[in-house]
Structure 1
Amino acid sequence: MRGSEAYDALILGSGQAGTPLAGALGRAGWRVAIAERVHWGGTCVNEGCSPTKLMIACAEGAHRARHAPEFGVSTVTVDLSEVRRLKRELVTSFARGSERGLQEAPNVTLLLGHAHFTAPNQVRVATAQGERELTAPHIFINVGARPSVPDVPGLGAVPHLLDSTSIMELSEVPSQLVVLGGGYIGLEFAQMFARFGSQVTVLQRGAQLIDREDTDIADALMWALRDEGLSVHLMVSELRVEPLGSGAARLQFNTPDGSQTVETAHLLVAAGRVPNTDTLGIEAAGLTLDARGFIPVNARLETNVPGVYALGDVNGGPAFTHVAYDDFRVVRDALLGGGQRPERLSTYTLFTDPQLGRVGLSERDARERGLDILVATLPMAHVARAIETRRTAGLMKAVVDRATHRILGAAVLGPEGGEVAAALQLAMLGDLPFTDLRDAVISHPTFAESLNNLFMTLGDVPPVGNSASRTEPSEVSHDA
């Protein structure tokens, strides 16, 4: 091993925070080393957002083809090996782009290998060419998380247990798929494979799917999935897994409806993720972990060790790519003079169909905080664009402060729900009252136009500072 190498910054992990941070610091004249253990670009590019959304689009193509006769169009064969090829092609393109961007950044050294702390400001990286000892006054941890395996009797004996990475490498559509977990990852894969042609069963321990959401939103999504033929079980308890011959497994469990049994050769575990902190040399660094193994940080993303930061999934915040990228911006602005950033407005999208776009507080959140609110709801069955495209599953819901008329949060469960939620997010960032959206002239017929009618359900509430009002809400958002 060569002698210790001194840098201005060390970055562990090339995810959606570490990669842009390396470039920004390098362009600012810092000497930067970035170490990546497996693949350039991080989870989003290689195993998360990009490949899954491409596969969801493929599954949607199959779904639409099966339902083409409903639109007067008269044929579906799914070639999962071709879907996998397309997925691999996209991943390779994006990962190479991330690596190329780092290679072209000034003052940045790339190291492919596992990194771990040997002291608070020192890291050892095991590369194919040998070990390298690096030191820096600033170290940024962006190592992400990985799928967790729940403590279920017999689960460890299943020979071909699938997770969110390995399931995308299947070359044939399973005849049956059981999904453990009714959260975001589990539901996206459940619907995807149902549309590819699998008989899908979802097992959820809790009383509803997507437990962060209000019950009416979760129930509407559950019924949409059941209408597509998925079997969804809630309040699953006493789950036991018994391996069978030829790689299959028998699952036995209880529900409020009684004891249940299902057999499958394909079992997907989508029961959360654990941080990649167990091989980082946490003790040598002196870092504090929380009970789940994540690294706590303050508003500047600083850990308990001076000069060491944690960005992205590893710090226990919302596990979304856009959050990790904003972590980069927080650190960049703090270190390079960008000033203090405004408070982050929480938002995310679940890419099921109907799609769920969420921004800000849910009704449950607002009531738990004791806020005085108005709640606007509108079924997608009352939205002209949804009726015209025959995609009426879901509903829209917004939470409004009663006194100020400011929008506190919203959920849009429907076609392009994430895009419509983004419009609400912009209104919230601009501190607009809901009446501005109620009375806005929005192009017809679009899904965004339904924002008029969503807020008209609150009744004849005049805009703040204006006595003008609009007609009562019509049953369908079809203003000419």
Structure 2
Amino acid sequence: MRFDAIIVGAGQAGPSLAGRLTSAGMSVAIIERHLFGGTCVNTGCKPTKTLVASAYAAHLARRGSEYGVMIDAPVRIDMARVKARADKVIHDSRNGVESWLRGMDKCTVINGHARFESADTVRVGDELLTARRIFLNVGGRAVVPDMPGINDVTYLTNTGILQLDRVPKHLVVIGGSYIGLEFAQMYRRFGAEVTVVEKGSHLVSREDVEISEAIRDILLAEGIHIRTNAECITFKSHPDGVAVGVDCSEGAPEIIGSDVLLAVGRRPNTDDLGLDKAGVAVDARGYIKVDDGLATNVPGIFAMGDCNGRGAFTHTAYNDFEILAANLLDGASRRVSDRLPGYALFIDPPLGRVGMTLTQAKATGKKLLIGNRPMTHVGRAVEKGETAGMMQVVVDAETKKILGAAILGTGGDEAIHGILDIMNAGADYTQLQWAVPIHPTVSELIPTLLNEMK
């Protein structure tokens, strides 16, 4: 079967690209071997943020008396209903993506596992499909590290933990970054004892130590145990679940958990695509090598989303689609290197981040202006009784361009976009400095933050 284009994988980038290509009159085959919608819809953003919302509701209910709202009975978690709510969000989103594709004119949806036969041909079962352009959108999965004893115990990943309809007695989270910390806080709020074990010296290692320590304080305040500098982590079965050995500078050498969650990174789903038959190059970790326009080393083959190693978020995957569509269909010359790195950590309160960290900015050797403000000085945070966290911005003193910013605090994941937008526009910080934002909001403190830089 011959098509104008083949898309392998129906994650965030694939379906949207199919829509643009078919609208341009091209015939498209989109191949999905498992679940439509990819990681975000099935095991990532959609279900986890639904669970975060349920955990926040439980947390706020317990704090009711602080607001003068009296709840006579203890807060009780019905985990089966919590899970059912997340499942519905998953199924509705997944079915929406699949229905959209199956109803798309000139789009052929194929269920199965695609493998390359050559640079322009893939096999799905007994079918051979050929196209001048092939787009890979195959995503990634959780890394299972080769730690001593890991194969002798039962463990969870971000996929398996979504199947729980109970609250673990003691959840031990291996990995102190985005996935691990979000699950750690939500299950603590559901009522579990939680311990986070991190090999590094501080949580969320890509962040400045100051931000990392503020995140640690937030989690500690909720009763989450944190063990850092765990250079050697081991596992063995225990009558109560799993015994996790930790070689840390302080604390007990062993933690007994009822359940263990592995959250130590992701790997691309590229090892069973037959990339060698097409001659597509990958790096040492299996990520498909692409240029600034998302083209591989083989003419006509492109890679989008998590599998190309150029971003690990839904929004970067979608932007990959936008770059390809603009360049192939609109005559543009958009580049991956033009996008600003922005992301969020969806604990409560959330961290919104864009651009460089303070450490990265200092490494440039540029003269900097730095603004800091604790959330205790933000009226909206005080009014809500949610004053944990801080705001920070870093500016190039000579060019007046904002290099980066972080807002760790209530509404930080939304408020950061005011800074992200001004950076995208290429404007000086002074354009934002004299804005007149709405009161009372978190965003209203951004001009104040800029005015107080030193």
TM-score range, shorter chain: over 0.9
Counterpart in 2 of 1:235? 229
Q: Indicate which of 15, 35, 38 corresponds to 2:34.
A: 38
8 Å CA contact 2:230–2:246 kept in 1: the answer is yes
Q: Indicate which of 155, 158, 178 corresponds to 1:184.
A: 178
Residue 133 (structure 1) shift: 0.7
8 Å CA contact 1:27–1:105 kept in 2: the answer is no
8 Å CA contact 2:233–2:246 kept in 1: the answer is yes
CA displacement, residues 228-265 of structure 1 (integer Å, 9 cap, x when unaligned): 1100111112211111236x111111212155211112
Secondary structure at the aligned position of 1:136 is classed as strand
Residue 338 (structure 1) shift: 4.2
| CA distance, structure 2, for counterparts of residue 369 and residue 455 of structure 1 | 20
Q: Indicate which of 355, 362, 366 corresponds to 1:367.
A: 362
| CA distance, structure 1, for counterparts of residue 249 and residue 331 of structure 2 | 55
| CA distance, structure 2, for counterparts of residue 31 and residue 325 of structure 1 | 21
Q: Indicate which of 331, 339, 361 corresponds to 2:324.
A: 331
Residue 441 (structure 1) shift: 1.4
| CA distance, structure 2, for counterparts of residue 104 and residue 317 of structure 1 | 31
Identity %: 43
Asked if residue 59 in structure 1 is aligned to residue 38 in structure 2, the reply is no
Give the 5 Å matches for 1:407-422. Answer: 407-422=402-417
| CA distance, structure 1, for counterparts of residue 184 and residue 331 of structure 2 | 43
Counterpart in 1 of 2:119? 120
| CA distance, structure 2, for counterparts of residue 61 and residue 258 of structure 1 | 32
CA displacement, residues 283-307 of structure 1 (integer Å, 9 cap, x when unaligned): 1111111010100100110111111
Residue 419 (structure 1) shift: 0.6
Residue 217 (structure 1) shift: 0.6
Return the letter of the residue paired with 2:185.
Q
Secondary structure at the aligned position of 1:405 is classed as coil
Consecutive unaligned residues of structure 2, counting only runs of 5 or more, are none
Q: 1:259 to 1:62 in 2, by over 3 A?
A: closer
8 Å CA contact 1:146–1:276 kept in 2: the answer is yes
8 Å CA contact 1:301–1:331 kept in 2: the answer is yes
| CA distance, structure 2, for counterparts of residue 108 and residue 242 of structure 1 | 50
Secondary structure at the aligned position of 1:73 is classed as coil
| CA distance, structure 1, for counterparts of residue 244 and residue 196 of structure 2 | 12
Return the letter of the residue paired with 1:433.
D
| CA distance, structure 2, for counterparts of residue 51 and residue 338 of structure 1 | 37
| CA distance, structure 1, for counterparts of residue 95 and residue 118 of structure 2 | 32
Counterpart in 2 of 1:470? none
Secondary structure at the aligned position of 1:137 is classed as strand
Asked if residue 22 in structure 1 is aligned to residue 21 in structure 2, the reply is no
CA displacement, residues 371-395 of structure 1 (integer Å, 9 cap, x when unaligned): 2211111111111111111111110
Secondary structure at the aligned position of 1:70 is classed as helix
Asked if residue 271 in structure 1 is aligned to residue 264 in structure 2, the reply is yes
Residue 165 (structure 1) shift: 1.1
Residue 368 (structure 1) shift: 2.0
| CA distance, structure 2, for counterparts of residue 444 and residue 338 of structure 1 | 43
| CA distance, structure 1, for counterparts of residue 118 and residue 428 of structure 2 | 52
CA displacement, residues 188-225 of structure 1 (integer Å, 9 cap, x when unaligned): 10001011111100000111111111111111011110
Counterpart in 1 of 2:194? 200
| CA distance, structure 2, for counterparts of residue 338 and residue 19 of structure 1 | 21
Q: 1:13 to 1:336 in 2, by over 3 A?
A: same
| CA distance, structure 1, for counterparts of residue 226 and residue 351 of structure 2 | 18
8 Å CA contact 1:378–1:453 kept in 2: the answer is no
Return the letter of the residue paired with 2:131.
A
CA displacement, residues 110-157 of structure 1 (integer Å, 9 cap, x when unaligned): 00111111111110113xxxx211011100000000001112100111
Counterpart in 2 of 1:175? 169
Q: Indicate which of 345, 367, 373 corresponds to 1:350.
A: 345
Q: Indicate which of 421, 426, 444 corresponds to 1:426.
A: 421
Counterpart in 2 of 1:392? 387
8 Å CA contact 1:332–1:338 kept in 2: the answer is no
Give the 5 Å matches for 1:282-297. Answer: 282-297=275-290
8 Å CA contact 1:102–1:108 kept in 2: the answer is yes
Give the 5 Å matches for 1:374-389. Answer: 374-389=369-384
Q: 1:392 to 1:287 in 2, by over 3 A?
A: same
| CA distance, structure 2, for counterparts of residue 258 and residue 99 of structure 1 | 49
Return the letter of the residue paired with 1:108.
C
Counterpart in 2 of 1:68? 64
| CA distance, structure 1, for counterparts of residue 62 and residue 430 of structure 2 | 41
| RMSD (Å) for aligned C-alpha atoms | 1.2
8 Å CA contact 1:357–1:412 kept in 2: the answer is yes
Q: 1:258 to 1:350 in 2, by over 3 A?
A: closer
Secondary structure at the aligned position of 1:392 is classed as coil
Consecutive unaligned residues of structure 1, counting only runs of 5 or more, are 460-480
User: Which aligned runs of 4 or more in structure 1 are off by greater than 6 angstroms?
Assistant: none
| CA distance, structure 1, for counterparts of residue 438 and residue 377 of structure 2 | 17
| CA distance, structure 2, for counterparts of residue 298 and residue 193 of structure 1 | 40
Residue 414 (structure 1) shift: 0.4
| CA distance, structure 2, for counterparts of residue 194 and residue 296 of structure 1 | 39
Secondary structure at the aligned position of 2:333 is classed as coil
Counterpart in 2 of 1:300? 293
8 Å CA contact 1:249–1:265 kept in 2: the answer is yes
| CA distance, structure 2, for counterparts of residue 222 and residue 258 of structure 1 | 16
| CA distance, structure 1, for counterparts of residue 389 and residue 331 of structure 2 | 41
Residue 456 (structure 1) shift: 2.3
Counterpart in 2 of 1:478? none
Q: 1:230 to 1:403 in 2, by over 3 A?
A: same
| CA distance, structure 1, for counterparts of residue 264 and residue 427 of structure 2 | 38
| CA distance, structure 2, for counterparts of residue 121 and residue 430 of structure 1 | 39
| CA distance, structure 1, for counterparts of residue 90 and residue 242 of structure 2 | 31
CA displacement, residues 444-471 of structure 1 (integer Å, 9 cap, x when unaligned): 1111111122112216xxxxxxxxxxxx
Counterpart in 2 of 1:471? none
Residue 341 (structure 1) shift: 2.6
